[in-house]
Amino acid sequence: MAQRKTLYLCLISDSVGETAFKLTQAAMAQFPEIKPIYERYPFVNTKEKVDSLIQVAVEKNAIITHTVVTQGLSEYIQIEAANHELTAIDLLTPVVRSVSKRFSLAPTHEAGAVHHLNEMYFDRISAMEFAVLYDDGKDPRGFLEADVILLGISRTSKTPISLFLANRNIKVANLPIVPQAHIPDEIYQVDPHKIIGLTNDPKVLNNIRRERMIAYGLNPDTSYSNMNEIKNELAFAETLYKKLGCYVINVSNRSIEETATMILERLGLDHY
């Protein structure tokens, strides 16, 4: 086997440099016959630092890749690299300029702005954990902390809608509505605007519940799937919704995504 050729790569960033590293690494994965040596230089935010790194790159005949958004610095890297007959690849500026031109917007030139996306990721994980913790009314205290509360009788898609919304950083608690069951006092302490009542058509519920019982290998003809019982549950839920003064959505023939979008629009929350 032929010996792999060595290539030094000088990775410059005015933040931590993860973007430069991942993009450069992805490109080098296309050349298994080359052994890349990555030399990472984070938090480069002055021309003096660039000058010293250019000298390092010259000594090792390195290719420079950079993700620098500090105003004027990426251009300086390109000019100095060219003056020393080095290859320098600006990984961000072409995209930033194209977007800026299309929408007539000025970029922020904020180093490390991409890491705000990571913060959003952790917020999403937190929202998912919240949805699981406060699913099916496990802890009424969650109603006071939630962005939205979903109420509904069995098989009105409370849990899947909760998880869909949680994936958009919305903290959701849900409560199953059962006739004659105690409604937690906390529900009455919540702004009705944050409460969504879910309902469904009796025939649709009957089919869903029968199929669920069959899937479990059980008799489908029980009080759970009885049409009169279903109508009683729906009537009880409707009375509660009127008492609370909450917004009601019939989930029949609606996808989880469609129902979730209606909820987000009702609440005036961003969804991305």
Task: Tell me the mean pLDDT in the region 89-98.
Answer: 90
Residue 30 has pLDDT above 90, yes or no: yes
In this prediction, residue 90 has a pLDDT band, given cuts at 50, 70 and 90, of very high
Structure tokens at 196: 């969504």
Of 18-22, 192-196, 233-237, the poorest mean pLDDT is in: 18-22
Binding region for ADP: 152-159
Task: Tell me the mean pLDDT in the region 78-93.
Answer: 94
pLDDT tens string 94-132: 888 898 888 898 887 776 665 555 567 677 888 889 999
- The whole-angstrom separation of Cα 64 and Cα 78 is 9
pLDDT, position 2: 66
Structure tokens at 97: 């300029």
Mean residue pLDDT of the chain comes to: 91
Query: Minimal CA–CA distance to 196: which of 269, 137, 263?
Result: 263
Structure tokens at 143: 């109603």
Residue 15 has pLDDT above 90, yes or no: no
Query: Minimal CA–CA distance to 63: which of 51, 73, 53?
Result: 53
Domains of the chain, earliest start first: 5-113 (3.40.50), 118-267 (3.40.50)
Task: Tell me the mean pLDDT in the region 131-151.
Answer: 93
SS3 label, residue 244: helix
Confirm whether pTM is higher than 0.75. Answer: no
pLDDT, position 117: 55
- Which residues does 125 contact at the CB level (< 8 Å), separation at least 6? none
Q: What percent of the chain has pLDDT over 70?
A: 94
- Which residues does 193 contact at the CB level (< 8 Å), separation at least 6? 247, 267
Binding region: 152-159
- The whole-angstrom separation of Cα 101 and Cα 98 is 5
In this prediction, residue 272 has a pLDDT band, given cuts at 50, 70 and 90, of very low
